[in-house]
Amino acid sequence: MTTTSIPPSALQGVRVIEMGQLIAGPFAGKTLADFGAEVIKIEAPGSGDPLRNWRLIQDGTSVWWQVQSRNKRSIALDLRSDEGQDIARQLIAEADVLIENFRPGTLEGWGMSYEALSALNPGLIMLRISGYGQTGPYRDLPGFGAIGEAMGGLRHLTGEPGRVPVRCGISIGDTLAALHGTIGVLLALYHRQAHGGKGQVIDVALHEAVFNVMESLIPEYSAFGAVREAAGSALPGIAPSNAYRCNDGYVLVAGNGDSIFKRLMAAIGRDDLGNDPALADNAGRVKRVAEIDAAIEDWTSPRSVAEVMEVLNGARVPVGKVYTAKDIAEDPHYRARDMILEQPTRDGHVVAVPGVVPKLLGTPGSLRTPAPKLGDDTDAVLREIGLTEQQIAALRERKVVA
């Protein structure tokens, strides 16, 4: 895919000031930027967003940065200085959205409470992402995504029964908070347009974003006193749905629909189970899940992943291999749906990055510009708010900008 032909953008004309760093706030900014919002990222002079230096580095910059900050502009501005805060206020006065994921009270300490900023810009929408939210007894505690995953109930369910809780391998708590924040921004933009032009605050807590996707966890505890526990790769209460060993890896099989179960049993030569009236519905299958899982693995274990997938796909049974990064990068379906895109970097490399989700057919998202180097757009942004070259040079001399 090339970026020479840019389709119309759903959020064209929306200006976002991003003050966050690392994952949650910037992921929300990235999502809005992918759909055409102008996102101006404020970074600390000298160091910038720490994500620039996280994980694997190419020419001094993390390749993760190329995903998280694509389509954004970067201004290096010292928010701890009075002059830097004044410039930030000028930018916010002309913005639609402000994203911040500092500890609660940080902006207030800089004289940038929502009340103060909305007095300058009544239509301002402020997305605030923090560990525990802007209110409540824990609001001042430090909170990262991993802690949100634990408090939200997710970590208790990960891993094998009786073993140490494990993480899923990515910062899912931060990303869930970012997606909830993005939804909030879109709702607030719609409300502002439809109901009089007023902005509002969106208060996203990391643990609440995780908790919101925990399905029946609390209703089951409320109704039955049931505390859901870790179950490895199985899906408790839903059968059969598990990972099954093959002779060269594992496959995931979801045979938990009533008709799917019958097709699955026929495919593995176990019509005795498929036609058993006691297993005709999920409630019956859950009671005998160990027997069913054993029958499936007896069939999968001497076979290859490819053979199992061929047979079960032919029987219209949901089945999937456990993909690695290599599998994803080489998969034709990912490529066909533009989910692996080639993106140039500011240093002249080309890096494969995830495509844009969700897919809007009328106003799709796109990759327009590579992730910026620190302060790439400082001068241009300052000129846009009316500063002269002499004023910019003086701010640079005082290390307010870089």
Helices (H) and strands (E) in the chain, counts: 18, 13
Angle at 279 between CA 278 and CA 280, to 5 degrees: 95
Q: What would the DSSP string read from start to end of 143-199?
A: --HHHHHHHTTSGGGSSSTTS-----SS-HHHHHHHHHHHHHHHHHHHHHHHTTS--
Q: Are strands 38-43 and 15-18 parallel, antiparallel or unpaired?
A: parallel
State which amino acid sits at residue 328: I
Active site residues: 174
Q: Which residues pair with 341 in a beta bridge?
A: 353
Rounded-to-integer distance, Cα 189 and Cα 178, Å = 16
Indicate the burial class of 48 (C-beta count within 10 angstroms; 0-12, 13-18, 19 or more).
Answer: buried
Q: Which two tokens stand for residue 202?
A: 């969106």
CB atoms closer than 10 angstroms to residue 76: 24
